[in-house]
Amino acid sequence: MTNNSQRTSLEVVRKLKGLGIKVEARHVYTSAMATGKFLRDQSPDSTAYVLGEGGLLSSLHENGITLVNTDPEFVVLGEGRNFTLEMVQRAVDMILAGAKFITTNRDPSPKKPGWNNLGIAATTAMIEEATGRKAFVTGKPSPVMMRSARKFLGLETSETTVIGDTMETDIQGGVQMGYKTILVLSGISTKERLSYYAFKPDLIASSVDEIEFPLAWW
């Protein structure tokens, strides 16, 4: 389950294969997929102006959303490096004219020199400031994605465990949905910062390698 909306599920499968992890497309759920399903359920056959790339464009098309350059019902923001400030300004004008604003996630930039992704939180904030409108977020930790990912896998709440490296998205989203949660310390979150949060994971591991399956609660 990934907040990155750039890749299709098949592209995620290929990336993971290159890392030595073998999965199938049916095991992958992206924020782009959650966004496409949300729009299909909420406003079937609607129109959208999209700031984003392959995975998001494909998902919206597959869910019957028409991509337009004028008078959209929705402005949808995803990750990408191919849209320009002029396109962002156009999106701002569309939202001011009445289009509803959706962003696939609010993941921040890691704030590291040389990082090749600005961070969608920064782009979202820019558009929110320019329009005075808050974006509706479909990706983690939103219940929109957490619930639709579970249903995509055909699981019940009691059967679902979220394993992730970020307290603000993976763990918070799992806790809010009543799923079991495991924080791995191989990514963004650190043990020293756990006391900052009002919620906590059910289990903490240094890496996925430390987790013994099956888990006691399965």
Q: How far is CA 180 from CA 61, 155, 168, in A?
A: 33, 13, 15
197: number of Cβ within 10 Å:
14
Low-confidence ranges of the chain (pLDDT < 70): 116
Query: Domains (ranges, CATH) in the chain?
Result: 9-137 (3.40.50.1000), 155-210 (3.40.50.1000)
> What pLDDT sits at residue 101?
98
Q: Are 157 and 177 in contact (CB under 8 A)?
A: yes
Largest Cα separation within the chain, whole Å, is 54
Q: How far is the C-alpha of 156 from the C-alpha of 105, rounded, in Å?
A: 24
> What pLDDT sits at residue 114?
75
> What pLDDT sits at residue 9?
95
Q: State the pTM of this model.
A: 0.93
Summarize pLDDT for 160-213 with one digit per residue, the tens.
999 999 999 999 999 999 999 999 998 888 889 999 999 999 999 999 889 988
> What pLDDT sits at residue 195?
93
**In degrees, to the nearest 5, what angle opens at C-alpha 37 toward C-alphas 166 and 1?**
25
> What pLDDT sits at residue 80?
86
